[in-house]
Structures are given as C-alpha cells and as structure tokens.
Amino acid sequence: MYHLLRAILSKLVSHGTLHVTLPDGRSFVCGDGSGDAVAIRFTDSRAILAFLADPEMKLGELFMEERLLVEEGTIHGFLSVILAGARGQAPSWWEGALDRCRFLLRHLTTRNTRNRSRENVAHHYDLDDRLYGLFLDEDWQYSCAYFETPDQSLGAAQLAKKRHIAAKLLIEPQHRVLDIGCGWGGLCLYLTETARAREALGVTLSREQLAVADRRAREAGVEARARFALRDYRDVEGEFDRIVSVGMFEHIGPQFFSVFFESCRRLLSEDGVMLLHTIGCSDGPNHPNPWLNRYIFPGGYLPALSEIIPAVEKAGLIVADVEVLRLHYAKTLQAWRERFMSRRAEAAALYDDRFCRMWEFYLAMSQAAFEHQDVVVFQLQIVRKQDAVPLTRDYMMQEKERLRRNERQARAVGVALPPALGNAVQQQQAELIPATPGGS
C-alpha cells in the first residue's frame, strides 16, 4: 500500500516539491524540487487506503478529520501540485470506473425538485450570516468577481462584475428586471439605483438571504423599486424586460435545464435580454464532485456549454453573446480564502474547528480547480429576437461609461446608495484603474 501511494504521488507530482510522511515515520519526496515545499502526513494506515480508493471523496474528509495533516505549506498548495500534475493524465482504471458511475448517477444526485431545491439552498445559504461577513466584500457578492487589473481589490472587482453584467443587459429607465437567485440583494440594488431600472424583483430560496436583502432595500429607501421574494424560479409570474441569473444555474441540475429556460422564455418580454452567469466545465459534461455535493453544495452540478446551448435552443431562445471568464474566479477564491483564514478564529467561534477545516478545504479546492482544471465561468447573453441587442459589442463599452458616470454622480450628490457600493467606487478611484476603451 505504501509503495502504491508513492508510485501514484510520484507520477502526479512532476513539478514542485511534496514531502510525504507515513504513519510509521517513514517518508519520501516527490517532484523536481522547485517551488515552495508542501509537507503532508497521514496519521493512520486506513487514511492511506481511503485516499487511494477514492481521492475525490476521501481527501476532503481526511483533511476535515485531521487524518491527513499539512505540516508545511497549505492545503491549497497540496491540491495545486496534485491537480497540476493530474492535468492531461488518464485516470487509473478504478478512478475511471468511479467517474463513469458518478456520471451515470448524476441525474439522481442533482434531482432538484422544488422541495429538494429549498433543502439544498438552506444547507449552504442559511448558515449564520456572520460567517459570510468574514470573507465576502462589503456588498456580499458571493460569485465570481471581474478583475479589470491583476491587483484590483476584491470590492472594486465585484463592482466591476456588476457593471459588466449591467452593460450586457442594456438597462433602460422603463425596464422591469428579474434576478433569479438574488443572493443578499446587491445586484438588484445596483440595477435599480445605478443602472436605473424602473424596478427589480429578486427571488431566492434562502430565508436568511431574503431577510438581509429586504433590510438593505429598506435602509437604502428603495424598497418600492427593489423587491425580494422567497420563490422558486418555476413559480415566478409576470413579464420582465430583463432577466439576470448569477451563480444560481449551478443549482438547477441537468434534467431541469429545459424547464429553466422555458420558464425564462415565458417570463422574458418579446424584446427582452437575459444574462446567465454560471460556473461550468470547458471540457464537456462531467459528474458532480462527490465531496462538494455531500458537504457544501448538495444537488450542485457544473454544466458544460454543450449542455446549456441545446436547452436554450429547445426553449426557443437565441444566444446573442458568449464570454468565458477563465482565471477571474481563481483570483476571487484566493481573496476569499485569505480573508477567511485571517479570521478563522471567528469562524471557529461560530461553529467549530472541523467546520473551519471543511470550509478551508472548500475554498482551497475550488481555487485550485479554477487554476489547474477545466473549470471556468460562462456568461451567456440570451434573447428572443435577433435585433434585441446592437450589431456590435461597442455598446458594452458605452454602457460601462454610463454606469461609471452614474456611480460617480451618486456618490457626489449623496443619494441613497448601499454603503458597499460607495466604498467600492471610492476604492476604484483610489486605485486609478485605467479606463477601458470609451471609458472614463
């Protein structure tokens, strides 16, 4: 068993430096000696057996149970050297068999009916709000930021994300907007108060998020225009000029893709525009990560573009624009992980050490996946009519300039504005971010 472990890790770790200590004190080193060294230790023989039998599932559990210890470096460092080495390598026959079984069973593990969707959302998003306050930006954006420059702050990059999305939506003053999976309300507030839509409805299945979003709208004095509801996307009624969904499609499940887009077509006006922002796989359909599915996001599934497009077409909708954000989420997760680890003691006071190890592994594994595996973010602009958006992308830059002006004006005149937005605008001005073509 020890020889098998050494053979597998030596094959995976071709670059970097990994020190491995066995339960009996023996050790070995993998890699070419480059980079910052990472040292791990297995505390018992059964931990090694579990790791060899099902690394996708058991690695996270072993870290949570302190049966795999990182004695030098971080769990992110360990995952990085493993995943970087695994890229392009064929899995063993046993891992391949597990992958095929999980792929065939994905419709069962992601069967997100109304009841299961509510339960899945509660599992993750109805945690103590103070936990999210430890690592998110001031606007509580829990999705991929948009880094206009490599050294942009998290808050400024999250503001840039909202601006980027709003520019693709082409918001006009008479528009009604639907935000499917609205989180804590930050995007809805931006679309009403900065993009200046007539009104926005944000729907969520999280009671905790709904309470925060409602409170934020009241505090900003815009509760008549930015409204929120505890509602499944399948149960929304009405007609909307714009629909946006950020970081929610990953919770749909592949057997409900057609239902989702049919619902969107029913809700979207004839001249309407929709923007879908979702994590996805750039190498084709895959199975859900079993550890994430059990501990972090029950029912979660990362779609491939080849799974999304047919469902859009079947619903009678048209894909007008596709953008792939590659390493933006890796940078976002790095910021979240560093912020979380700097306040780990506060998280432990809310929950316990095992929870903190689980959360650290979740953030570290997600970051490493975006860095070294075929995981990206897709942004799809979707319409019902071919002429719903201009012929060229120039309008996006023009819209961003308009939104930047609105951000500056709002801060200058002191209108009701979520504090986080004002702070992010100030951050961007302080950082002297270069303007995009046509920008300020």
pLDDT of residue 228: 98
Residue 187 near residue 139 (C-beta atoms within 8 A): no
What is the residue whose two structure tokens read 């409805």? 201
Name the residue type at position 230: L
Q: Please tell me the distance from the alpha carbon of residue 69 to that of residue 360, in angstroms, as a whole number.
A: 13
Domain end point (choices 50, 80, 104):
104
Q: What percent of the chain has pLDDT over 70?
A: 93
Residues 79 and 142 reside in one and the same domain = no
Average pLDDT of 386-393? 95
Who contacts 74 (Cβ-Cβ below 8 Å, separation ≥6)?
A: 38, 364
What is the residue whose two structure tokens read 């190498």? 283
Residues 95 and 122 reside in one and the same domain = no
* CATH code at position 216: 3.40.50.150
pLDDT in tens, 270-289: 999 999 999 999 999 999 99
Residues 60 and 15 reside in one and the same domain = yes
Residues 303 and 234 reside in one and the same domain = yes
Residues 139 and 199 reside in one and the same domain = yes
Q: Is residue 30 part of a domain?
A: yes
Q: Is residue 354 part of a domain?
A: no
Within 13 Å, how many C-alpha atoms sit on residue 391's CB side?
Answer: 0
Domain end point (choices 73, 104, 135):
104
In the beta sheet, which residues pair with residue 41? 21, 69
Strand duo 268-281 + 68-72: pairing: unpaired
Strand duo 68-72 + 38-42: pairing: antiparallel
Q: Please tell me the distance from the alpha carbon of residue 174 to that of residue 151, in angstroms, as a whole number.
A: 37
Average pLDDT of 36-55? 96
Q: Is residue 349 part of a domain?
A: no
pLDDT of residue 70: 98
For residue 425, give both structure tokens. Answer: 């605008």
Residues 134 and 54 reside in one and the same domain = no
Find the domain containing 181 and state its range: 117-326+373-431
pLDDT in tens, 212-251: 999 999 999 999 999 999 999 999 999 999 999 999 999 9
Q: Is residue 214 part of a domain?
A: yes
Q: Check pLDDT > 50 for residue 421.
A: no
pLDDT of residue 437: 34
Residues 228 and 198 reside in one and the same domain = yes
Q: Please tell me the distance from the alpha carbon of residue 153 to that of residue 430, in angstroms, as a whole number.
A: 11
Q: Is residue 362 part of a domain?
A: no
Q: Please tell me the distance from the alpha carbon of residue 277 to that of residue 248, in angstroms, as a whole number.
A: 8
Q: Return phi, psi of residue 372, to 5°.
A: -125, -10
Q: Check pLDDT > 50 for residue 131.
A: yes
pLDDT in tens, 164-216: 999 999 999 999 999 999 999 999 999 999 999 999 999 999 999 999 999 99
Q: Please tell me the distance from the alpha carbon of residue 371 to that of residue 373, in angstroms, as a whole number.
A: 6
Who contacts 129 (Cβ-Cβ below 8 Å, separation ≥6)?
A: 208, 212
Average pLDDT of 368-381? 96
Q: Give the full edge-to-edge strand order of the sheet including 38-42.
A: 27-31, 17-21, 38-42, 68-72
Residue 165 near residue 373 (C-beta atoms within 8 A): no
In the beta sheet, which residues pair with residue 322? 380
Q: Is residue 205 part of a domain?
A: yes
In this prediction, residue 412 has a pLDDT band, given cuts at 50, 70 and 90, of low
What is the tally of structural domains in the chain?
2
* CATH code at position 33: 3.30.1050
Q: Check pLDDT > 70 for residue 358.
A: yes
pLDDT of residue 425: 45
Closest of 4, 36, 44 to residue 19, by C-alpha: 36
Average pLDDT of 343-357? 97
Residues 151 and 87 reside in one and the same domain = no
Closest of 396, 421, 404, 406 to residue 170, by C-alpha: 396
